[in-house]
Copies of this chain bind each other. A is one copy, B any other.
């Protein structure tokens, strides 16, 4: 493989959304809320909310906007219909302040030595920039679905990223902990690497598959990915 760049899914792949969102929900809603359940429910609205944009049922809205709309629905359901505006705005920022998995910064730092590394997330640019500063993610640049006004797994996102990087699709590896993201990237001609993140679907959710047989690589961490690529 003549790999020049790696692009990374972020939520779940590089950062631990569950712990971070749960922590801020607990801090801002207090013990009256089941913070774990709230975080899980919020994440549960993620794909459906993007799918409404992808199907054209909702005009382009960036992820902060979708997170806010989902939050407003959930606050009503969870018994917080009167939460003040500033607390709602602060809660949306929970998704900007997520912590990296223990291997993420070390793995990205090694990979960056010989490859271009960029996010390729459905998170908006401001979210990804704040997260990178918070978590110490050493991106060469932030790439986001927002740049193309399309959400993954739409092909425009993968092909748009490859074009901005000035590369051919097979010179770029898409790295993700989700099979659908990798399958869509492969359909666009990108290489793929699956990261097995065992807790992605929560204690009550399904276990993620141990490997992706269709991917070029399956790894347990970004440091293992660096190892496998000789970085």
A interface with B by C-beta (< 8 Å):
64, 116, 118, 124-129, 132-133, 139-142, 146-147, 164-167
Contacts and interface: CB of A to CB of B under 8 A. Distances in A.
B166 A64 contact: yes
Given A165-B125, A165-B126, A140 B132 contact: yes
Given A166-B64, A166-B124, A129 B147 contact: no
A5 to B, nearest CB: 9
Given A141-B141, A141-B142, A129 B64 contact: no
Contacts of A167: 126
Contacts of A127: 166
| Count of this chain's copies in the oligomeric assembly | 2
A147 B147 CA distance: 7
A140 B129 contact: yes
10 contacts: A64-B166, A126-B167, A129-B140, A129-B165, A132-B140, A139-B141, A142-B142, A146-B164, A147-B147, A147-B164
A24 to B, nearest CB: 18
A116 B164 CA distance: 22
A126 B64 contact: no
A230 B142 CA distance: 27
Nearest to A139: B141
A125 B129 CA distance: 16
A164 B132 contact: no
Contacts of A165: 125-126, 129
B125 A141 contact: yes
A11 to B, nearest CB: 18
Given A126-B165, A132-B141, A147-B147, 8 more contacts: A116-B133, A124-B164, A124-B166, A126-B164, A126-B166, A127-B166, A128-B141, A142-B142
A95 to B, nearest CB: 12
A122 to B, nearest CB: 15
Contacts of A118: 129
A125 B64 contact: no
A59 B192 CA distance: 33
Contacts of A125: 141, 164-166
A164 B129 CA distance: 10
